[in-house]
């Protein structure tokens, strides 16, 4: 089945993933990511910075991701687009109209 393009500026086909915690055989907690949905989105870079931490240089980019409204979008999710991962910080239901969600997210590159 061919993917159809969404209306407007939503030209990136992303996978929404939910963070889940599990325990291994030794009782240690592990984080795993489960695919929730594949949807069209707009991804806009907002700012970036470079910083030195733990004896290595890190780059942090901040993005706004816009998607159609979904009731199950939470801050413990991320979006995957190709090899890029965007960790959600604040999903905002614009004007509480249940039409679209703007997600402030962080993409950390090391």
Q: What is the DSSP string of 38-98?
A: EEEEEEEEEEEEEEEETTEEEEEEEEEEEEE--TT--TTEEEEETTEEEEEEEEEEGGG-S
**Mean pLDDT for the chain overall:** 85
> Measuring CA to CA, which residue among 28, 14, 33, 22 is closest to residue 103?
14
pLDDT for 51 beyond 60: no
CA distances from 24 to 19, 20, 55, 61, 77 (A): 16, 13, 30, 32, 22
Whole-number percent of the chain with pLDDT over 90: 61
User: Do residues 88 and 33 make contact, with C-beta atoms less than 8 angstroms apart?
Assistant: no
CB 103 within 8 A of CB 64: yes
Residue 2 has pLDDT above 60, yes or no: no
- CA dihedral in degrees (83, 99, 96, 91; nearest 10)? 0
pLDDT tens per residue, range 75-110: 999 999 999 999 999 899 988 899 999 999 998 664
State the pLDDT at residue 8: 57
pTM: 0.77
Residue 24 is predicted with a pLDDT of 86
Architecture of the domain delimited by 12-109? Beta Barrel (2.40)
pLDDT at 6: 47
Per DSSP, the three-state class of 46 is: strand
Tell me what percent of the residues of the chain surpass a pLDDT of 70: 77
């Amino acid at each position: 089945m061919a993917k159809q393009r969404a209306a407007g500026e939503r030209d990136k086909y992303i996978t929404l993933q939910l963070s889940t915690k599990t325990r291994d055989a030794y009782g240690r907690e592990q984080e795993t990511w489960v695919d929730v949905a594949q949807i069209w989105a707009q991804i806009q870079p907002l700012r970036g910075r470079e910083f030195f931490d733990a004896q290595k240089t890190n780059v942090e980019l901040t993005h706004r991701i816009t998607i159609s409204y979904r009731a199950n979008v939470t801050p413990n999710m991320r979006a995957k687009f190709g090899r890029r991962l965007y960790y959600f910080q604040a999903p905002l239901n614009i004007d509480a109209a249940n039409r679209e969600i703007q997600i402030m997210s962080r993409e950390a590159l090391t």
